[in-house]
Amino acid sequence: MIYPQGYKSKLSQRETQYAIKTVKDTFQLKLAKALHLDRVTAPIMVTKASGINDDLNGVERKVHFTMKNIPGEAEVVQSLAKWKRMALYQYGYEHDEGIYTDMNAIRRDDDTDNLHSLFVDQWDWCRVITREERNVEFLKEIVQKIVKAIVETNDVVKEKYPMLGFEMSDKVYFITTQEMEDLYPDLSPRERENAVVKEHGTVFIQQIGGKLKSGKKHDGRAPDYDDWELNGDIFTWNEVLGCAFEISSMGIRVDAESLHKQLEIEGCLEREQFPFHKMILSDTLPLTIGGGIGQSRLCMLLLEKAHIGEVQCAVWPEDMRQQCKVNGIELL
């Protein structure tokens, strides 16, 4: 936990509620226009047997339960990385078309702190691409469009709430995880992120999931949604907390070749028996690019909040609640 010295929110709790709506209403329209996305309805649960739930880093426990009239188990979603691709296929979306949705998830194993909550809300988005677009340059084009939508949203928010002063550059610095390790071999992954983002402001850190030359991973990624060579995270510098601040995780999704390769690396080829994975391996599902953009994260950033609990209602340890209160952080 970080408790910024002398922190006081620039908005009251009531003003914050109005401002949250401004951020969400503005950004989702700009995102949809920039990436040609339609809003669709999303599930809060999926069946365990479908294999469609997001495995995140592959170790997080899912919230699961049995049902009265339906055999098997259901799982509360952790994100919709796989479901979106199925939806594009089912709904008949074609090249340069896509969807976005309000995704609400429970991640029971997340550590709660300034940036992390057990409740996750994000805009999950995905759109159809061609095989020729499965390259780094196309990925960078999409990143630039998302960053531009964030910067334009920030301009709208500051015009409505002139007491806010967050600045974000629309010039994105691109760097791979291996380049970061080469630059800072003695730093941890988080320390590398802080060093690079503090220097460059708006950063897209590429190629997350595979092992680096050191034999270690920069960060974990499930092997069956992002292509680890064609993915990354969007970061900016958070002046309130004095740290690198992740806004989005995204990437070009696996094709048959990269799916098999990554499942083999992680020792989980048994997943190829799930319906979702079979549809990728048989080239039934469309090739896609997609990601998640944190709703509360974006609100926290643009409204200059010190804790994500200032912009969302969730469950927090009691000692954290007490310490936040002492340090001027008003949790909802």
Are residues 301 and 245 in contact, defined by beta-carbon separation less than 8 angstroms?
Answer: yes
From 133, 227, 246, 304, the catalytic residue: 246
Judge whether 206 counts as a catalytic residue. no
Indicate which residue of 249, 258, 295, 296 is catalytic: 249
Amino acid at 181: E
304 is catalytic: no
CB burial of residue 202 (10 Å; 0-12, 13-18, 19+): buried
Question: What is the strand order of the sheet 37-39 is part of?
Answer: 37-39, 98-106, 119-128, 288-294, 243-253, 226-238, 203-206, 173-176
State the maximum Cα–Cα separation within the chain, in Å, rounded to a whole number: 58
Of these residues, 78, 79, 117, 122, which one is catalytic? 122
CB 2: neighbour CB atoms within 10 A? 15
Q: Which of 28, 54, 248, 255 is catalytic?
A: 54
Q: Is 107 a catalytic residue?
A: yes
Choice among 233, 255, 304, 310 that is catalytic: 233
Among 113, 119, 120, smallest CA distance to 320 is for: 113
Q: Which H/E stretch holds residue 327?
A: none
Which 8-state DSSP code applies to residue 219?
Answer: S
Rounded to whole angstroms, what are the CA distances from 275 to 221, 255, 262? 21, 15, 17
Q: 242: buried, middle or exposed (CB in 10 Å: 19+, 13-18, 0-12)?
A: exposed
The CB density around residue 301, as the number of other CB atoms within 10 Å, is 26
Length of the chain: 332
Query: 38 an active-site residue?
Result: no
Nearest to 328 by CA among 15, 19, 1, 5: 5
- What are φ and ψ of residue 250, in 5° steps? -160, 175
Which residues 6+ apart lie within 8 Å of 20 measured at CB? Answer: 299, 303, 311
Q: Which residues are catalytic?
A: 54, 107, 122, 233, 246, 249
